[in-house]
A and B are shown apart, each in its own frame.
Chain A
Amino acid sequence: MNEHNLILMALALYVGAFVYALFLLEGRPLWGSWGHRALISAGWLLHTYALYQRAGVLQRCPVTNPFETMMFITWAVVLCYLIFGMTWRVSFLGPFALPLVIALCAFGLFPGLDRGRSDELQRSVWLSLHATLSLLAYGVWGLAGVTGAMYLLQERQLKTHRLRRLFLRLPAIERLDRTNYRLLVVGLLLLAVGMAFGFVVGVEFIKKDVPKTLWSFLVWAIYGGLTAAHATGRLHGRKIALGSVAAFLFLLATFGAVNMLSTAHRF
């Protein structure tokens, strides 16, 4: 079975998990939250197998064209959810992260996106690591954006005193704020290491690709600023949540364009 079909099946399971989550939010679960987790995990396993299959062909992490990149980012978002959901006890993120995963997966499956490969990425191990870690960071920040959106939803209900059904299902805003901050830090570290691997490739290579390098620094600075503002107590709660959502939207909106401008390391 080719990777596209595997991703399609994974996408169907993610959609199933999302529909199941809607029942969960309504308080009518068939197998409780376990059913939801099982559907997401099954989807992620298929997703992983699709990437593994493609990696076998490329002999590299499959992040060499827009299709692979989208699949890798969405895979990273689900992976983060599965890891942090269990270790930080924030499984409530799942139902809210799924619309993002589904939308990006569906976009990645558009015809024509699985074409053309970055030769540089195929040649250099360092550049491959750089791309992998950077995309993992974007995945983590994607989840931070979802957490931020959840914060804004819950905070609005608390501010307006209009408590809807969702109010009881959403976690405490302080818990969301803490989770958001942790995800910002994890993403920041991943991108920092990813960028360091990029530097290993050499200054010559960076010179060839000024827009992408500058953009990466800008993204790192935006997230770095948000993280620092939270750590020092300058910003807390709503503003950090807004920042998280806005930063990820900026990342999504500009990623494609910067990639197009990139001459050396498109992914």
Chain B
Amino acid sequence: MHIVVVGLSHQSAPIEVRERFAFTPGMLERALPVLRAAPGLDEGVIISTCNRVEVYGAASGAADAIHAADDFLHRFHKLEGRVESEIYRFEEPRSIEHLFRVVSGLDSMVLGETEILGQVKKAYEQALAAKTTGKALNQLFQKAFQVAKKIRSQTSITRGSVSVASVGVELAEKIFGDLGASQVMILGAGDTSEKAARALLSRGVRSVIVSNRTYERAVALATELGGRAVRFDSLGEEFVGVDIVISSIAATHQVLTRESLGTLMVARQNRPLFLIDLGMPRNIDPAVNELDNVYLYNVDDLQGIADDNMRARREDLARCDALIAENVARFQEWLRRLPPSAPKPCERSGPAGPASTPIASH
């Protein structure tokens, strides 16, 4: 039995090409039975995400299986000309290694992202439900999920946030723990502050207060975020209740100084305060970081942490590769012992039978 993969990803093809091969969830339902009927393929799984379209196949002949998967991709999407250079076609061991890398997030646009694991699991479950998988692909995908779990727990490849907004969220969680009781204040209706606020909202912060020099803009953003707008001159009163402040005001002077915040911290009973200064020039006096229970980060600090985390992920690539190589070898060993599956009814008819099953169109 041989495992093959035919597909294209963000690394091999631009979006204009990828979108021509993409499968929507509805299309996938129709495509899986067609794939099952494709001659030369005994088993098949289709993975279609925004960054990749891949057909995994298992068959007794590798070359036939690659040809069948390639043919299926073109014919199902009714593509007239053949796409050659953007499509990769891998046999073992590269096909197995490729899947292991994909589920572990090593082939993703953002190295180490974990969303892909869920997407592949869903694609596999759909194939399982459509009965297009057999012993070989079932075992392959189960092994791939195990490898992904191992890589996640034994290396740093998924650790630490790698974007400014997610670093902000991670820091907030390391200060407050559960964000369910935290209140966020946004000063200035900037784009990055909005992104950071949305990221914090997605982690369940209790409420959002928006303040801007132009009150109407504050009201508009507050409505969008499901929060509350406050006037700029009543900020002091609100400060007592907030836990996280994201500031991006276009101001020539500092909005928060060490002296003013020192007084406010007493009123806050010294509860921790997380300040994110995205302003240029900076809105908050850097000296406030010297106050107890105040944590100040500017955009360079956040970007620096994101870069460090990415560097740490890259440094662990060699360990991931070693883990994958070990598991690929083990899987090949298992595959070698697997008896070939019985031919499909259409193939049993022999040389006189139909050369290919017509590919259904969508």
Does B289 sit at the interface, judged by CB under 8 A?
Answer: yes
Q: Measured between alpha carbons, how far is A173 from B272 in the docked complex, in Å?
A: 9
The 8 sampled A-B contact pairs (Cβ below 8 Å) are A27-B154, A161-B297, A163-B308, A174-B176, A174-B177, A236-B270, A236-B293, A237-B272
Q: Is the CB of B174 within 8 A of A173?
A: yes
Cross-chain contact A168 with B295 (CB below 8 angstroms): no
Q: Which residues of B contact A (CB under 8 A)?
A: 153-156, 159-160, 171, 173-177, 269-272, 289, 292-293, 295, 297, 301, 304-305, 308
Interface residues of A in 148-176 (CB under 8 A from B): 154, 158-159, 161, 163, 165, 167-168, 170-175
Contact B293 A163 (CB under 8 A): no
Q: Knowing A235-B270, A237-B270, A237-B272, say if A159 contacts B177 (CB, 8 Å).
A: no
Residues of B within 8 A of A168 (CB): 159-160
Q: How many A-B residue pairs have CB under 8 A?
A: 61
Contact indicator A27/B156 (Cβ below 8 Å)? yes
Could you say which interface size class chain A belongs to? 20 to 34
Please give, as numbers and ranges, the residues of chain A lying within 8 Å of B295 by CB-CB distance: 158-159
In the complex, which residue of chain A has the Cβ closest to the Cβ of B309?
A: A163
- Give the distance in Å from the alpha carbon of A239 to the alpha carbon of B292 in the complex: 8
Say whether A238 faces chain B, with CB atoms less than 8 Å apart: yes
Provide the residues of chain A in CB contact with B304, threshold 8 Å: 161
**Is A158 a contact of B171 with CB atoms below 8 Å?**
yes
In the assembled complex, which residues on chain A have CB atoms less than 8 Å from the CB atom of B308? 163
Q: For the A-B complex with A159-B289, A163-B308, A237-B270 known, give 14 more contacts whose Cβ atoms are closer than 8 Å.
A: A27-B153, A27-B159, A28-B154, A158-B175, A159-B295, A161-B304, A163-B160, A168-B160, A172-B173, A174-B176, A233-B270, A236-B270, A237-B292, A238-B292
Complex contacts, B301 vs chain A, CB 8 Å: 161
Query: Given the complex, which residues of B lie within 8 Å of A85, measured CB to CB?
Result: none
Nearest-neighbour CB distance to chain B for A240, whole angstroms, equals 10
The residue of chain B having its C-beta at the shortest distance from the C-beta of A29 within the complex is B153
Query: Complex: how many Å from CA A133 to CA B226?
Result: 52
- B293–A237 touching, CB < 8 Å: yes
Residues of A within 8 A of B177 (CB): 171-172, 174-175
B126 CB, nearest partner CB in chain A, Å: 31
The docked-state distance in angstroms from the alpha carbon of A214 to that of B63 is 88
A158: chain B residues at CB < 8 Å are 171, 174-175, 295
